[in-house]
Amino acid sequence: MTTTIEKAPRGGRGLALRPLAFALPAIALLALLAFISLLVGVSDVSVSTLLRLFSHNDDDMATQVLVASRVPRTLALLLAGSAMAVAGLLMQMLARNHYVEPTTIGTAESAGMGMLIGILWWPDMPVFGKMGLAAVFALAGTALFLAVLSRIRLRSALIVPLVGLVLSGVIESATTFIAYRFDLMQAARSWMTADFSAIVQGRYEMLWLSLGITVLAMLAADRFTVAGMGQEFATNLGLNYKRLVAQGVVVVAVVTASVIVTVGIIPFVGLIVPNLVRLVVGDNVRKSVLWVAWAGALMALCCDLIGRVVIAPYEVPIGTVMGVLGSAMFLALLLSRRKRMGG
Amino acid sequence: MKTLSTSPSAAAPAPVSWLGTPARRLWLLLALALLASLYFMTSQVQAEWSFVLPLRGKKLATMWTVAFAIGVSTVLFQTVTNNRILTPAVMGFDALFQLIQSVLAFTLGVAAMQIPELSRFGMNVGLMVLLSTSLFVWLFRGQASNLHLLLLVGIVAGIFFRSLNNFVWRVMDPNEFTVLQDRLFANFNTVSLPLLLLSLPAIALVGIWVWRQRHMLDVLALGRDVAVNLGVNYQRAVMGVLVVVAILVSISTALVGPVTFFGLLVSNMAYQLMHSHQHRYTLAGSVLLGGLLLVGGQMVLERLFGFNTSLSIVVEFLGGLTFIYLLVRKAKG
């Protein structure tokens, strides 16, 4: 709203220059963090090793660490962080509520259940099969949430995330029950807590798929903005609302499933990042979606770095770090809202 | 009854005529609970009685202690907050208790292990009371507190405490963690006997206090304004209730670990069944129902399905469904 008022008198040149003025430092910041992420770890990797990588004639220990572990890890962080953030943004459009994201409405928990069942019944399934199964479950979980939501007539802004949190708790307890029955409790817990320490070459490539889908979602951002305004509005503009929602749910489910199968559940990125971005950029998805992807990657990098540094040479998994920081930020978000309402 | 849109009187089915009074239904419940307990103690004994009876006796005592702690704390909490969807567990109380335990064990290290059980438990409960009441007062300061906001804050606070707890565990010395774990995740089969013996007098004291306050609680349930008009020292009464809630939550969490939705299930079943607003019925009813559910559920799982510790998972599942049902119904109404 404010942006349109500000922009009107500025004219074309200002419009063209302003995003660039923000984008360059943003990219620089992300690159800096990614660079730090390459250097931090148990075995020493120095700046000179990094430089040597480009002259590609060495295969000493440090270079190998870099190629086999550090680079994949950093890439995985960038991909997973931005994918989850964009999935969160999309979910918020579909549920028409700012306080939901795949890990608080049951999508992620359902995907986890699908993975567990896949491992129980078809242990030799290839990774893509696992992901497919997880995606199907994630789809079902998201659809269940939306169905429950549509049955609630009075949709106070806060009841939506409440129902979501409880639903994901119920799905999780069902998963725990299955895991308990088959003596897989510990294993299941360790798959599902996001952890990038096991990411090496050959174990993260599936995330490129989520990047592809995320980019597709970005291109369709306008449509999803319209979907976020409700069925009547979308239909009036000539869009097939139901199909649009179905497409959105598929995108969210596949992205979530690919991230969970590769690294585990990363909580709160999809919740915090879009909300923070919205505070700065506003509600227009086409404008904010790139920033959301950027900030998601940034947040994943930061949290992973914190986890790696805080009890070095050991690690705190990113799922835990994000759980602490993310829930604290979510609380702050909720309570600042209360202050605004004068409660 | 404007504040109680989830009030049972609105939707409860008409009570069966030959069980017309709440008192009669309570007696029936008591009889059922006694029968279940008796059956639990004596059925399918394959070893020496002298071995089986103490073992099962400890389990039974634990289940009833937990049923009491969870049932009473939930009803009291719902009375004070004037709401039938809130429970101390939903608001993150037991996660807070676990966090306090972990932080104490982490900061004091081995020294924490040498403090005798009694004073350690006292210390934990003291901290718990302090933290939870200040949290509560802070949250409920505003008159027009939005229920949904409050619930959401509670649930997220629970997630926050739990994640922080996970974090502390990661940082902890593995040996210390092993000792802590024994204390945090006891189940019905491996309860520490000193803790159980410690809880029983505490439960008895709380029980006497609550029973003597039952009429004041009935007044509190009418809401702040009415209660103040009827001459209740509201601030003091609420504080007293909250201290009791904190003690009860500490006991149940210390004994069997956190159970989020069990209290919700039990208290709402009690409201439906008792069909009364008087605390002597709702309190007793929720305790008896809780015990019946735990003992009966444990028996079904143990002897029919051969599971051991999964009762809390099943109860969580059912309780979660109840919670969604209540939320959806409330939202519709």
Which of A99, A165, A341 to mutate to test binding with chain B, by most B CBs within 10 Å of its CB?
A165
Q: How many CB atoms lie within 10 A of CB A51?
A: 9
User: What percentage of chain A reaches a pLDDT higher than 90?
Assistant: 19
Confidence category of residue A9, pLDDT binned at 50, 70, 90: very low
Q: Do B320 and A169 touch (CB under 8 A)?
A: yes
pLDDT exceeds 70 at position A208: yes
Residue B69 in contact with residue B251, Cβ under 8 Å?
Answer: yes
- Read off the amino acid at residue A85: A
pLDDT exceeds 80 at position A129: yes
Taking the C-alpha atoms of residue B57 and residue B59, their distance in angstroms, rounded to an integer, is: 5
Cα torsion for B318, B319, B325, B326, to the nearest 10°? 160
pLDDT exceeds 90 at position A82: yes
Residue A156, chain B, CB below 8 Å: the answer is yes
Q: How many CB atoms lie within 10 A of CB A30?
A: 17
Q: Do B159 and A327 touch (CB under 8 A)?
A: yes
Chain A positions touching B309 (Cβ under 8 A) are 180
Chain B positions touching A338 (Cβ under 8 A) are 142, 146, 149
Taking the C-alpha atoms of residue B204 and residue B198, their distance in angstroms, rounded to an integer, is: 11
Residue B266 in contact with residue B289, Cβ under 8 Å?
Answer: yes
DSSP per position, B9-43: HHHPPPPPGGG-SHHHHHHHHHHHHHHHHHHHHHT
Q: What is the pLDDT of residue B237?
A: 86
Among all chains, which residue has been given the structure tokens 């008792």?
B274
Among all chains, which residue has been given the structure tokens 């097939």?
A240
The tally of CA atoms less than 13 A away on the side-chain side of residue B19 is 13
Q: What is the pLDDT of residue B182?
A: 62
Taking the C-alpha atoms of residue A88 and residue A265, their distance in angstroms, rounded to an integer, is: 13
Q: Alpha helices, DSSP H only, in chain B?
A: 8-11, 22-42, 49-81, 93-108, 110-114, 117-139, 147-171, 174-184, 193-212, 214-220, 224-229, 234-256, 262-274, 279-299, 311-332
Greater pLDDT, B131 or A189 = B131
Taking only the tens of pLDDT, chain B with its 333 residues reads 334 344 444 444 555 555 778 888 888 889 999 998 888 888 777 777 777 788 888 888 888 999 999 999 999 999 988 888 888 888 888 888 888 888 888 887 766 666 776 777 778 778 888 887 777 777 666 544 567 777 788 888 888 888 888 788 777 777 777 666 666 554 566 667 777 888 888 899 999 999 998 889 988 888 888 888 888 888 888 888 888 988 898 888 878 777 778 888 899 989 888 888 888 889 999 999 999 988 888 888 777 776 655 677 777 778 888 887 887 776 554
Taking the C-alpha atoms of residue A153 and residue B132, their distance in angstroms, rounded to an integer, is: 34
| Mean pLDDT score, A220-227 | 81
Closest CB from B160, B310, B331 relative to A180: B310
Greater pLDDT, A54 or A257 = A257
**Residues near A332 by beta carbon (within 8 Å), at least 6 away in sequence:** none
Q: What is the pLDDT of residue B50?
A: 78
Residue of A nearest to B316 (CA): A173
Query: B131 to each of A178, A186, B94, B294, how far by Cα in Å?
Result: 36, 32, 12, 30
Q: What is the pLDDT of residue A56?
A: 60
Taking the C-alpha atoms of residue A89 and residue B211, their distance in angstroms, rounded to an integer, is: 51
Q: What is the pLDDT of residue A19?
A: 64
List of domains in chain B: 56-177+189-256 (1.10.3470.10)
Q: What is the pLDDT of residue B9?
A: 43
pTM over cut 0.90? no
Q: What is the pLDDT of residue B112?
A: 64
Query: B255 to each of A4, A210, B65, B150, how far by Cα in Å?
Result: 59, 44, 9, 28
Q: ipTM of the predicted structure?
A: 0.77
| Mean pLDDT score, A107-130 | 87
Backbone angles phi, psi at B249, to 5 degrees: -60, -40
Taking the C-alpha atoms of residue A127 and residue A130, their distance in angstroms, rounded to an integer, is: 5
Cα torsion for B163, A107, A76, A275, to the nearest 10°? -70
Name the packing angle between helices A185-192 and A107-121 (round to 10°).
130
Residues 109-168 of B with CB under 8 A from A: 142, 144-146, 148-149, 151-153, 155-157, 159-160, 162-164, 166-167
Tell the burial category of B20 from Cβ atoms under 10 Å away from its Cβ (0-12, 13-18, 19+).
exposed
List of domains in chain A: 71-326 (1.10.3470.10)
DSSP letter at B47 equals S
User: What percentage of chain A reaches a pLDDT higher than 70?
Assistant: 85
Confidence category of residue A6, pLDDT binned at 50, 70, 90: very low
Q: What is the pLDDT of residue B7?
A: 42
